[in-house]
Structure 1
Amino acid sequence: MFAPKNVCPVPFDQQPLNEYLALKKSCFFAWSVLSLNKYMNTVFSIFILSLTFIIPVTWILFYNKMSLLYVFFYSILAVNIIFILLFIRLYLGWSYIVKRLLSATVFYEESGWYDGQIWIKTVDILTKDRLIGLYEINPYIKRIKYSLLLCVFLFLLESIILYLI
């Protein structure tokens, strides 16, 4: 995936396609590009695992102050906040990569913050990058957006239920 220096002066690790491949292989971002079934299983597994660790913490914090129902609702609320932060991080990471892939120019640094350069992509590289951005990454971004919106909706619903109880 490395473009020759005479075609692309951008360092290897700052080329948008290589950034995409590195992000796709990273541990945190890799599960967000799984098939929909595996993605849902992973989200459910993380939910159950988080809830398993959060319930004892909320039980200790609210011991003898609230009923078990309140402890359970506050635990779910805490896990939901964790999920909102997690999906925001996923969204920001993928949207940064797709922005660099879809852009006709690439800002890069050769050796430090003081020598930033801008490289204009060739037609071939721009076409390939835009195809990858539009048809591979955008569906993942939409999935993350829907997951984030669902978590925010559930957070608001749980907050209303806790207020009414």
Structure 2
Amino acid sequence: MFAPKNVCPVPFDQQPLNEYLALKKSCFFAWSILSLKKYINTVIYIFILALTFIMPIVWVLSYNKMALWYVFLYSIVYVDLILILLFTRLYLGWSYIVKRLLSATVFYEESGWYDGQIWIKTVDILTKDRLIGLYEINPYIARIKYSLFLCIFVFLLECIVLYLI
């Protein structure tokens, strides 16, 4: 996967393909590229886990010791907010990588922020990077985007319901 130095002057960690492989192996981003069933199960697991931690906090912080179903509704709102932040981070991370893979040029830093360079990809590397970006990463980005929109919709719906109650 590593391009030789005479073909690619970009440092190993800053090559888009290697950034993709590192992101794919990271604990935070790896679950977002699982199969659809495992992905949904993981989201449900995160939701339940966050709810078990948030619900006691909302109960303790409620000044007038509101009813349990109010505590439950407010806890779900906070958990949805956490999921929105989580999906936003996933979306930003994967979209950064796909942007670098699809781009014909790569900006890189040799030793610091003051000496950045731009490398123009060869046709072979550009083709391989674009195939990976379009056919491997874009479906996951679309799934994360739909999950984010669904969480935002549910969050707004919950806020309206809490306002009306």
What TM-score bracket applies, with the shorter chain setting the length? over 0.9
SS of the aligned residue for 1:66 comes to coil
Match of 2:105 in 1: 105
Deviation string, structure 1 residues 99-143 (Cα, Å, up to 9, x no partner)? 000000000001100100000000000000000000000000000
Gaps of 5+ in 2: none
Gaps of 5+ in 1: none
Deviation string, structure 1 residues 11-57 (Cα, Å, up to 9, x no partner)? 00000000000000000000000000000000000000000011100
SS of the aligned residue for 2:118 comes to strand
Q: Is residue 59 from structure 1 mapped to residue 36 from structure 2 by the alignment?
A: no
Alignment of 1:16-95 (within 5 A): 16-62=16-62, 64-95=64-95
Alignment of 1:132-151 (within 5 A): 132-151=132-151
TM-score for both structures, normalised by structure 1: 0.99
Instruction: Tell me the amino acid that sits aligned with residue 82 of structure 2.
Output: I
Q: CA deviation at 1:67?
A: 1.4
Q: CA deviation at 1:65?
A: 3.8
2: CA distance, partners of 1:69 / 1:38: 30
CA contact 2:59–2:65 (8 Å) conserved in 1 = no
1: CA distance, partners of 2:65 / 2:158: 19
1: CA distance, partners of 2:113 / 2:159: 44
SS of the aligned residue for 1:107 comes to strand
TM-score for both structures, normalised by structure 2: 0.99
Q: CA deviation at 1:64?
A: 3.2
Identity %: 84
1: CA distance, partners of 2:66 / 2:14: 52
1: CA distance, partners of 2:5 / 2:163: 61
Match of 2:11 in 1: 11
2: CA distance, partners of 1:112 / 1:156: 43
1: CA distance, partners of 2:125 / 2:106: 11
